[in-house]
Amino acid sequence: MPKAELHCHIEGAADTELVMQQAAIYGADMSPFIRDGAFVWHDFTSFLAAYDASASLFRTEEDYARLAEHYLASLAGQGAIYSEIFISPDHAMRSGLSPRAYLGGLAEGVRRAKAASGIEARMIVIGVRHFGAEAVEAAARFAADCDEPLVTGFGMAGEERHGNPRDYAHAFDIAREAGLGITVHAGELAGWESVAAALDHLRPARIGHGVRAVENPDLVRRIAGEGIVLECCPCSNVALQIFDGFENHPLPQLMVADCKVTLSSDDPPYFRTSIRREYEEARRHFGMDDTALGDITRTAIEAAFIDEKTRQALLARLSR
């Protein structure tokens, strides 16, 4: 089953083994955040604390090259032919690395992975919502000016209950005017109003999660009608208790309502998931067969922030 992933935070893709290797290099104590080979957290705030502590152990260009190479190699091993990774210049700066060097390292990792397995990957620069509008604007400006062909999108992650999408509209205008694809996290930690406001003010082609749109049938109809693509991450949602179990996850309902949905792993080791597991759980809990899962991959590639020639080449690999 060929797979494609549109929504994975590269810092959140570092597994505990790799993080512990970094901790050994930099002499860091990760015992509050990693126990028995697993990340320790109990809610979104403590998840972010473990995430930020792990991210702080990637400090050089080569650290990030290895991280991207390691994650993309693992994806390719699970049958993924395409990946978009979210990259956060703010996390690099907090690690003492310039956004430019960070991007250079990640791009090198993407190229190494492609040479080894053929996996195609692009990068989406994200701003962190709870760092404020100015920081998100700086991230957008970096994305717009970075002149790296592997950067094809801009988005925003972080604490969705912070601020109002209106405050970030200028950042998204900068990215859109630079020709970048637009996505934004909404409808994960906050309800349908957050998705509606993101659509109104930020005009994304895709929404990260978006699943709580299900709280408002008119909004679901709007998403379907406008062809907005939802980057669904069911294992993340269940782990963070956004929904009480897969049986209460709205993905099947959104599909029935003709919304375009895709599957991604978000921050895989934190949520004990992987792109493979996302597809498996969709088969188990949402009744998807090979055809339905193939359609999920096709939707992701159709919604990818990528040039048309590469998109057609990827679609051709699906029909083979």
Integer Cα distance of 284 and 267 in angstroms: 21
| DSSP type of residue 269 | T
Q: Which of residues 43-82 bind ligand ADE (CB under 6 A)?
A: 51
Helix (H) or strand (E) holding 207: strand 206-209
CB of 197 to Zn ion, least distance (A): 18
CB of 234 to Zn ion, least distance (A): 13
What are the C-alpha distances in Å from 90 to residues 103, 127, 148, 166? 12, 7, 18, 21
Asked if residue 267 binds ligand ADE (CB under 6 A), the reply is yes
CB of 157 to ligand ADE, least distance (A): 4
Q: SS3 for 284?
A: helix
185 vs 276, which CB is nearer to Zn ion?
Answer: 185
Q: Which does 12 bind (CB under 5 to 8 A by kind): ligand ADE, Zn ion, none?
A: ligand ADE
Q: Which of residues 285-314 bind ligand ADE (CB under 6 A)?
A: none
Give how many residues touch ligand ADE by CB under 6 A. Answer: 10
CB of 151 to Zn ion, least distance (A): 18
Q: SS3 for 157?
A: strand
Asked if residue 266 binds ligand ADE (CB under 6 A), the reply is yes
Does 188 participate in catalysis according to the annotation? yes
Asked if residue 266 binds Zn ion (CB under 5 A), the reply is yes
Torsion sign (Cα): 139, 143, 147, 149: positive
Give the pairing of strands 34-35 and 38-39: antiparallel
Check 5, 160, 188, 278 and give the catalytic one.
188
Asked if residue 185 binds ligand ADE (CB under 6 A), the reply is yes
Is residue 259 left, alpha or beta, with left meaning phi > 0 and alpha meaning psi from -120 to 50?
Answer: beta
Integer Cα distance of 5 and 22 in angstroms: 26
Choose, by CB under 6 A, the member of 120, 188, 231, 281 that binds ligand ADE: 188
In the complex, the residues that contact Zn ion under the rule CB under 5 A are: 266
In the complex, the residues that contact ligand ADE under the rule CB under 6 A are: 9, 12, 51, 157-158, 185, 188, 236, 266-267
